[in-house]
Amino acid sequence: MLSSKCLTDFMLKNDTLYTIRPTGESSVAVQVFKSGLMARRKHVLFLQHYRGEVDYDHENPEKSRVELVFEANSVVCHDEWLNAEKRRELLAFVQRDVLAADRHAQIAFTSERIERKSHTRYELGGTLSLRGNRKPVVFEVVVLPKGKDRLEIDGTARVKLSDYGIEWPSSLFGLIGTKDEITLRFLLWPERAAAAVEKKFKTASR
């Protein structure tokens, strides 16, 4: 168990560090839009397993840093307009042909710049690594501090599949036409790392 001194040292060194993990409130989604006669339809794929950290500077948010890692084989689909069999076929196709999860188990994002647009809105630029390809991507994000120990981060980015060497078939499961541009959306609730450790310390000390 950590001593009080070790706990204090850890908290001082990691005061601005927040950890990201899945919670009941958070979500990471990929929206794939149909075209042509199916233009009003879209596939919504969720990545269930992910982790990351935010080094968040409350006084100078532009100096903050974000890193995220998503597990490619954790994708699920709840499209109600597809029956269960079609959803299974879609997921198999996404994992095998789109994400190539057997060869590229992780999808990663690393921030490189943050530009403030308003009190809570930012432009978060960085690199998205997908299927072994690294390309620049820009997220429009809203950051809301929830006290000292928690953040709410809502981000959206548009990405072209062709930039990562991905070509969605023109006809899949009888559903014709899929747009090249997809939308990445995440709602995250990072928790200050020092606060989490302190909570465990207090629980263990009882």
The residues pairing with 143 across neighbouring beta strands, listed in sequence order, are 153
Whole-structure pTM value: 0.83
Predicted confidence at residue 176, as pLDDT, reads: 53
What share of the chain in percent tops pLDDT 70? 81
Q: Which amino acid is at 196?
A: A
What count of other Cβ atoms lies within 10 Å of the Cβ of residue 54?
A: 24
Position 132 pLDDT exceeds 70: yes
Beta-carbon count within 10 A of 156 CB: 16
State the pLDDT confidence band at 172, using cuts at 50, 70 and 90.
Answer: low
Mean pLDDT is lowest, of 10-14, 32-36, 45-49, 94-98, for 10-14
Instruction: Provide the domain count of the chain.
Output: 1
Task: Look up the CATH number of the domain holding residue 179.
Answer: 2.40.128.110
Query: Is 110 exposed, middle or buried (CB count within 10 Å of its CB: 0-12, 13-18, 19+)?
Result: middle
Cα 49 to the center of its chain, rounded Å: 10
Q: Which domain holds residue 48?
A: 4-205
Closest CA to 21 of 188, 186, 192: 188
pLDDT of residue 169 exceeding 80, the answer is: no
